[in-house]
Amino acid sequence: MADNALDGLIDALRRLPGVGIKSAQRMAFHLLQHDREGARRLAGALTSAVQRMHACARCHTFTEAEVCATCLDPARDARLLCVVETPADQAALERSGSYRGLYFVLMGRLSPLDGVGPADIGADDLLARAADGRVEEVILATSFSAEGEVTAHALANALRARGLRVTRLARGVPAGSELEYVDLSTIAHAMGDRR
Amino acid sequence: MADNALDGLIDALRRLPGVGIKSAQRMAFHLLQHDREGARRLAGALTSAVQRMHACARCHTFTEAEVCATCLDPARDARLLCVVETPADQAALERSGSYRGLYFVLMGRLSPLDGVGPADIGADDLLARAADGRVEEVILATSFSAEGEVTAHALANALRARGLRVTRLARGVPAGSELEYVDLSTIAHAMGDRR
């Protein structure tokens, strides 16, 4: 039977998103039996990340510096500001190679039921950031879920009220997909936005 | 974009079993954004577990002591020795309340294709443990997968060659299930072992 240090490890692993008791047990067992070096490395990485990563003063993404490398990159088009929910969404846009402007990372999305309001996604900082005199267009790239849409809608209203041009990523049929298998709401949007 | 400490954390999380790049990103993001205390706690739990947990000298499960509490429990029936693959399997048997004997934990199972041989599951230690003069019956409770069956078969042969009585958990229809939804191999085994 498990003793205390093992139970403590399983409890700590269970706090990770998407990890239940079975996964936590499997992870703890794997680390102790087959990958103690991996366990030590993970402990070090956690400590290091918590100590060194904080929010970029300009775009709110995680960075070790005062301002992140993307915000400081002079090759970026400072007239474009793309608003995303998470650093992972930003990374996906970067991988697409379709965007060369700057970013603002909300680090979440509006979710009144979970108590996530405008202050939690840095809405005031976004409004100040977008009003730097160089930004000409704010592209809202929040997700196309209900909460992402609500977030985009609220931010668009506030940004437009300050005279900024606001756009939204196009909705449509994903590349490589057959119409037969695309959900009807997507087809309806693609039809409405046809060009 | 991610800086080094964040990438390091994502890489370290990806080494956990069942965690891909997407899950690792979500975990790292969650810890840094919403649960830094959880990240510190996990780092401490990892370090503590790696330092303090090692194999019980008698049954091979994880313990902080020389010999685990179960092996030292005088209320246990020392005539019964149940062989399981993992501490989680042992915990499941304990929860069932159906067993009061002692255990031997293989910490794995034979898997020639993965290079896991008898030495990796402590087969020699099991044979020595079962020959202590008190054990009268060895119950093989390895899983009923192909590798678990191979492990049980090999151990049964070695244990019987030493004159020990060896049994295997019964196969059959799970409690509460309707026959219609039970797989055919299980039904065939349940029919063959009917009583």
Q: Confidence band (pLDDT; 50, 70, 90) for B54?
A: very high
Nearest CA in chain B to A70: B1
How big is chain A by its Cα radius of gyration, in Å? 21
Q: Tell me if residue A86 falls in helix, strand or coil.
A: coil
Percent of chain A topping pLDDT 70? 98
Residue A104, strand partner residues: A83
Torsion sign, CA atoms B98, B101, B106, B111? negative
Kindly state the average pLDDT of the residues A130-135.
Answer: 94
- So what's the pLDDT on residue B2? 44
B119: pLDDT strictly greater than 70:
yes
Separation between Cα atoms, residue B6 and residue A68, nearest integer Å = 13
How close is the nearest chain B Cα to the Cα of A51, in Å? 9
- So what's the pLDDT on residue A179? 78
Q: How many CA atoms does the CB half-sphere of A117 hold within 13 Å? A: 3
Q: Confidence band (pLDDT; 50, 70, 90) for A2?
A: very low
Angle at B137 between CA B133 and CA B141, to 5 degrees: 130
Mean per-residue pLDDT over chain B, rounded: 91
B170: pLDDT strictly greater than 90:
no
Provide the ipTM.
0.79
- Which tens digit of pLDDT belongs to each residue from A3-57? 489 999 999 999 999 999 999 999 999 999 989 999 999 999 999 999 999 999 9
Mean per-residue pLDDT over chain A, rounded: 91
Judged by a CB distance cut-off of 8 A, whether residue B32 touches chain A is yes
Contact B3 A47 (CB under 8 A): no
Contact A8 B49 (CB under 8 A): yes
Say which of A8, A47, A53 has its CB closest to residue B6: A53
Q: Confidence band (pLDDT; 50, 70, 90) for B1?
A: very low
Nearest CA in chain B to A8: B45
Contact A42 B16 (CB under 8 A): yes
Q: Model pTM greater than 0.80? A: no
Judged by a CB distance cut-off of 8 A, whether residue B73 touches chain A is no
